[in-house]
Every structure is written in C-alpha cells, then in structure tokens.
Amino acid sequence: MKNGTCWVDEEGNFIQAHGGVIIQVEDTYYWYGENKDAETQGNRVPFLGFSCYSSKNMRSWHNEGVVLRAVEDDLEHELSTNKVGERPKVVYNQKTKKFVMWFHLDDATYHYARIGVAVADAPAGPFEYQGSLQPSSKHKDSRDMTLYQDEDDAVYLICSTDWNATTLICQLNEEYTGLTGEFKLAFIEQFREAPVVIKENGLYYMFGSGCTGWNPNAMLYGSAKEVTGSWLLIDNPCTGSDYRKTFHGQTSNTFKFNGQWYIMLDHWDKDDLRMSGYSFLPVRFNGNEVEIPWTEEFLGV
Ligand code: GAL
C-alpha cells in the first residue's frame, strides 16, 4: 500500500472509504468511509452513502458494500443525494450490543451543519438511520467531527463549531445515540478541522488540520490530561518532505496495529474526489512529543 495513492480492494476496485475510520472487532478490522464513486460537480459529489471494507491483515480489503445508503427518490430527506455526508465514525456499545455511527450531515452549501446518527446490529451493517442532532444549544453547528471512545467506554463527540473557529467536545449518552448536554470548548478561535484523538502514556493527543477545504495545510497537535480538560496546542508533528502541508493529506482517523499507532490521511483530489488517495503513517511518541514521519509505504508490520 503505497502512501498517498488510491488503494484497491481484493477485487482490484478502488477503495471508496474517504474521511473514514477503522475499528477492530475480534480479529477483523472494519474500515468505514465516504463512498465518493461519482463525478465531482463543483466542490462535491452527490451523497451516495458510507462504505465498509473488512480485513484481517490491514492490507487485503474485502468490500462489505454500502452500509448506510443515500435516499434516491426523496430530495427532502436528510440522506438524499443532494446532501453531504462526511467523516462517518463508528463505535461499539457493549451495553446495547449495537454498532453506532455518527457523521457530519450537511447540505451542499455546508449551512445545515448537523450530525447524523445510525445504528446496526453487526459491524457490516446495515445501519438504520435514527435522525440528526445539533451538538449544543449554545454551539449549534457541527461540521468536521470524530468520535473518541475512552478506556472506560465513555464516548465523546469532537467537532468543529462556531463556523469552524472552535473545537467542541461533548460526551455521548449511555446508548451512544445522543448527548449528555455537557460540553467543553478547545482550541478557541484556532480554526481546527478533521480532529482525531490518541491516548498514549496517560495523555490525550488531538491531531487535526486547518480550514482550507480540500486543499492541504499544516497538521497541528495538542495534548490534554482529560478529554474534557484543557487542551494545549503544541505544534506540527510531521517530518519529511512536504511536512508543512501534511504530505498533501488531511487527518481522518487513528488506529493501533501490531502495537504501533498509525494516523490515516485522505489525499483529496478536488477535481475528481473519487480518486482521492490514502496514507497510513506511523505516530511516534518520544516522551510527550510526537513525530509523524512520512513513509513511502504501509507495510502493516
Ligand atoms: C474540508 C473537510 C472535508 C470536507 C471539505 C469540503 O475542510 O475536512 O471533510 O468537508 O472541507 O470542502
């Protein structure tokens, strides 16, 4: 898997799982993401739904199909093809035994700025749409987002709010289908997007991009002692050629494989979004400092 390029599934078709997430269920990895397999019109492709791929080794990916499908015959529906669905994230709820997906739900102008929620009984779906919500009554808009599941199984929504000026962190309810109402602001007026979180050596690290649409910019990271504590913005962790542009990529998720943390990037092709590539880059911790070096290939070992 050559980093920065399009990757293919086990049948040789391009993997359509952009802005995604990878979770492990027993000995299988599931990769969910945006299916952008349509012609780019202006700034976007029609909303098609979210794909799922499975793998035992992180290299050979089996297409499980579209697990939450766009609604084709009702343009008023929140999941219709004229909407935007981005950055699906999936967590497993031990208590309800459900897989719960949250995603950025929007209209084509990015003014709707809500969160969609869907639930499934099995990792490869199908996911049943539950409806949409706003993160808080004070900070109503939510655009780029992730879910972070802590060691105690508490799950947090981390999203860009206030027209992307600020990051908002909210705890999910026990079912993971709604919010508790408590929230914490981070990186106030720092205009961060595409958040992802790793916990290592007792600290939480958040990585993300700036706000330049499909164009790359510098990744920055910060750390905190608690997810809802005070976040300290630190610096750009990337090293190597084009480190000031995140190697022409943007963060989408993190995962641990064979004891090593990786960060996944989308390499957006804004003229033909379906041809956007991916990278899995190692995340190296040295004390409280973090380095993300460019590597040519993901070997998965
Ligand atoms: C990016 C964001 C992507 C997508 C894009 C649209 O900043 O991270 O998920 O929303 O803007 O231009």
pLDDT digits (tens, 9 = 90+) for 70-86: 999 999 999 999 999 99
pLDDT in tens, 228-257: 999 999 999 999 999 999 999 999 999 999
Q: Is 229 in the pocket of ligand 1 (CB under 6 A)?
A: no
Backbone angles phi, psi at 236, to 5 degrees: -85, 120
Q: 52: which residues sit within 8 A by CB, 6+ positions away?
A: 17, 30, 31, 32, 64, 65, 66, 67, 123, 124, 125
Give the ligand 1 atom nearest the CA of 43: 12
When pLDDT is averaged across residues 267-294 and rounded to a whole number, the result is 96
When pLDDT is averaged across residues 265-288 and rounded to a whole number, the result is 96
Question: Structure pTM?
Answer: 0.97
Q: 148: which residues sit within 8 A by CB, 6+ positions away?
A: 155, 156, 158, 197, 227
Q: What share of the chain is helix, strand, coil (3-state, %, to 5)?
A: 5, 50, 45
Separation between Cα atoms, residue 9 and residue 7, nearest integer Å: 7
Q: Is 194 in the pocket of ligand 1 (CB under 6 A)?
A: yes
Separation between Cα atoms, residue 53 and residue 37, nearest integer Å: 15
Q: Is 70 exceeded by the pLDDT of residue 49?
A: yes
DSSP per-residue string spanning 157-196: EEEEETTTTEEEEEEE-TTSSSEEEEEEEESTTS--EEEE
Separation between Cα atoms, residue 192 and residue 219, nearest integer Å: 9
pLDDT in tens, 162-206: 999 999 999 999 999 999 998 999 999 999 999 999 999 999 999
Residue 117, pLDDT score: 98
Instruction: Please report, rounded to a whole number, the percentage of residues in the chain having pLDDT higher than 90.
Output: 95
The domain segmentation of the chain, as residue ranges, is 18-293
The two three-digit tokens of residue 289, written as one number: 């400092």
> What is the architecture, at CATH level 2, of domain 18-293?
5 Propeller (2.115)
Residue 48, pLDDT score: 98
Among 164, 128, 127, 170, CA closest to 148: 170
Q: Is 90 exceeded by the pLDDT of residue 299?
A: no
Q: 250: which residues sit within 8 A by CB, 6+ positions away?
A: 193, 194, 209, 216, 265, 266, 267, 268
Angle at alpha carbon of residue 8, lines to 40 and 46, rounded to 5°: 20
Q: Is 90 exceeded by the pLDDT of residue 288?
A: no
pLDDT in tens, 107-123: 999 999 999 999 999 99
Chain length of the chain: 301
3-state class (DSSP) for residue 254: strand
300 confidence band (pLDDT: 50, 70, 90): confident
Q: Is 60 exceeded by the pLDDT of residue 301?
A: no
User: How many whole angstroms from 27 Cα to the centroid of ligand 1?
Assistant: 32
* Dihedral angle of Cα 223, 227, 228, 231, to the nearest 10 degrees: 10
Ramachandran region of residue 165, left (φ > 0), alpha (ψ -120 to 50) or beta? alpha
Among 148, 138, 122, 108, CA closest to 64: 122
Q: Atom 11 of ligand 1 has which residue's CA nearest to it?
A: 213
User: How many whole angstroms from 214 Cα to the centroid of ligand 1?
Assistant: 6
Give the ligand 1 atom nearest the CA of 19: 9
Q: Is 60 exceeded by the pLDDT of residue 7?
A: yes
Q: Is 19 in the pocket of ligand 1 (CB under 6 A)?
A: yes
Q: Is 193 in the pocket of ligand 1 (CB under 6 A)?
A: yes
User: How many whole angstroms from 202 Cα to the centroid of ligand 1?
Assistant: 31
Separation between Cα atoms, residue 67 and residue 178, nearest integer Å: 21
Asked if 217 and 191 count as a contact pair (C-beta separation under 8 A), the reply is: no
Count of Cβ atoms closer than 10 Å to residue 247 Cβ: 23
pLDDT in tens, 24-48: 999 999 999 999 999 999 999 999 9
User: How many whole angstroms from 96 Cα to the centroid of ligand 1?
Assistant: 32
Q: Atom 7 of ligand 1 has which residue's CA nearest to it?
A: 213
Best residue among 142, 143, 163, 273 to mutate for probing ligand 1's pocket (most ligand atoms within 8 Å of CB) is 143
Count of Cβ atoms closer than 10 Å to residue 286 Cβ: 7
Mean pLDDT, the chain, integer: 96
